[in-house]
Homo-oligomer: A and B are copies of this chain.
Amino acid sequence: MLTKPTNDPRNDFAGRSRDIQRPPIADINALADERTAQGHALTNLGQAVLGLEPPEAAMDQVRRYLDAGGVQGYSPDPGLPEVREAVAAFCRDHKEIDHARADNVMLTCGANQAFVNTMLTLTRPGDEVITFGPGYFDHDFAIRLAGCVNVEVGLPQTGERFRFDIDAVADAVTPRTRVVVLVSPGNPTGAIIDDASLERLTDLCAQRGLWLVSDETYDLLTFPGAHHRSPASLPQAQAQAQDHVVVIGSFSKVFGLAGWRIGYLLGPAWLVEEAIKAQDSVVVCAPVPAQLAALGALGQVDDFARHARTVLLQRRNALLEILDHLPWVTPTVPAGATFTLARLHQDLVDDVALCRDLVIRAGVVTVPGSAFGPRGAGWVRFSFGNLPVDQLQEAGERLRQFDPYASS
């Protein structure tokens, strides 16, 4: 499709995106599409979405919007008032963020756009942003596209789980640090920060004058024994959350609304007002039909989240059972979210090559750990959220027949 002559303009391209690798999911999906077009049937353990349809009430809201007519207008930049209020109520009732009110909420085109708004509001070019690694590649992109420096702190592994090392965060703070980004449950690890570490991290940010940006995309998707807690729900944060905590939320994963592009940020009311500058220039407002779909979904959150967690647990256990019996990979046990990060046997050093091999020879799509930063090298992310158990079993059959040491 793309030819590259010697006078290829790409050779001269000097824009900021040149320094960033393409999103690996896009590349793996392109390879997968190519194989599918050639007639190969693939099993997709790549995408982190929950493969459930959204709650009925979500689509009912959209149908009512269509039927009522007058569907041409923008909403206010931060969103429709009744939807902002519904998100605030959700944060109070399901995330224990007691201070959440409508004017703390801005609706966005998904959690990524909320993160971009936050970066383009809080930082200046050259600022440092601390993240945990291996971590979410779109955060790395957004930080770098904002002209900032991503300072990655490792997630040490204890047994089958990852830990959040707050001492390492404290050591990484410099006078240029502006923001610390927490993703819990994490992507690609599924790790959840323990309460003591969460309190220490929140205190550290408050004491050092740093913003704590907490991406809670997978908040309701936790497994038995684990509980997601937002830094904005901590007692000290309830007094100080107006100062330094921004929560980022999504309707893509929990509510099956990925394609509708709807998420939110929650922070001090004055910061939400401040973030309107980025909001207006990036998207003006979140898509109105998606705002209404979110409103509908929030009316069924209890039933839907319970169902989602039940289904997810079955899927997680099925995939872990499969991976536990493969000699070339060792899964970690996620406390939440829709995937497991699995370590490759030490003989298998190139996770990118292995993932390409998995597509081509096993017909299984996964994401190479290198996609999640240097600390992801030698790991592979297997998603279980998107497939029912019988399809996971089928993927298991393919994986059992796959010999990673055979040449492709």
Contacts and interface: CB of A to CB of B under 8 A. Distances in A.
Interface stretch (A69-77, A186-194, A342-350, A374-382): A69-77
Given A145-B120, A269-B1, A23 B277 contact: yes
Contact of A22 (B47, B59, B76, B277): B277
A26 interface: yes
A129 interface: no
A275 B17 contact: yes
B15 A274 contact: yes
B121 A270 contact: no
A203 to B, nearest CB: 17
A196 interface: no
Contact of A270 (B2, B147, B243, B284): B2
A256 B72 contact: yes
A123 to B, nearest CB: 6
Contacts of A257: 72
* Count of identical protomers in the assembly: 2
A252 B335 CA distance: 42
Interface stretch (A105-113, A167-175, A299-307, A355-363): A105-113
Interface stretch (A48-56, A88-96, A388-396): A48-56
A281 B16 contact: no
A153 interface: no
A138 interface: yes
A124 B14 contact: yes
Interface in A120-176: 120-126, 138-139, 141-142, 145-147
Contacts of A252: 74
A72 B59 contact: no
A294 to B, nearest CB: 12
Given A2-B269, A270-B2, A71 B259 contact: yes
Which bucket holds chain A's interface residue count? 35 or more
Given A2-B270, A16-B121, A53-B70, A77 B258 contact: no
A134 B227 CA distance: 53
Contacts of A229: none
A201 interface: no
Given A16-B125, A243-B9, A281 B2 contact: no
A181 interface: no
Contacts of A275: 17
Interface string A243-269: 110000000100011111100000011
26 contacts: A9-B244, A15-B178, A15-B274, A16-B120, A17-B278, A22-B273, A23-B276, A26-B76, A26-B280, A53-B70, A59-B71, A62-B66, A63-B63, A72-B256, A74-B252, A109-B113, A112-B281, A112-B282, A113-B282, A125-B125, A138-B280, A141-B277, A141-B278, A145-B278, A258-B284, A282-B282
Interface of A: 1-2, 8-10, 12-18, 20, 22-23, 25-26, 29, 47, 49-54, 59, 62-63, 66, 69-77, 103, 109-110, 112-113, 116, 120-126, 138-139, 141-142, 145-147, 178, 209, 242-244, 252, 256-261, 268-271, 273-278, 280-290
Given A23-B276, A52-B72, 19 more contacts: A2-B269, A10-B270, A10-B274, A16-B123, A16-B125, A18-B274, A20-B277, A22-B273, A51-B72, A53-B69, A71-B259, A109-B113, A110-B283, A116-B281, A139-B281, A145-B278, A146-B147, A259-B285, A260-B289
